[in-house]
Amino acid sequence: MTDLGDLYQQTILDHNRNPRNFRRLEHATRSAEGHNPNCGDRIKVFVQLDGDTISDIGFQMPDGAGCAISKASASLMTTAVKGKPVAEAETLFQAFRDMLSGGAIAPGKLAAFGGVRAFPARVKCANLAWHALHAALQNESDPVTTESARDF
Q: Which residue ranges make up the site for another protein (CB under 8 A)?
A: 1, 4, 7-8, 13, 17, 38-41, 63-69, 71, 119, 121-122, 125
How far apart are alpha carbons 54 and 40 in whole angstroms?
A: 28
Write down the least CB distance from residue 103 to another protein, Å.
Answer: 22
70 vs 78 by CB, closer to another protein: 70
Nearest to 130 by CA among 147, 146, 116, 108: 146
4 vs 104 by CB, closer to another protein: 4
Write down the least CB distance from residue 89 to another protein, Å.
Answer: 26
How far apart are alpha carbons 148 and 64 in whole angstroms?
A: 23
Write down the least CB distance from residue 8 to another protein, Å.
Answer: 6
Q: Are 130 and 149 in contact (CB under 8 A)?
A: no
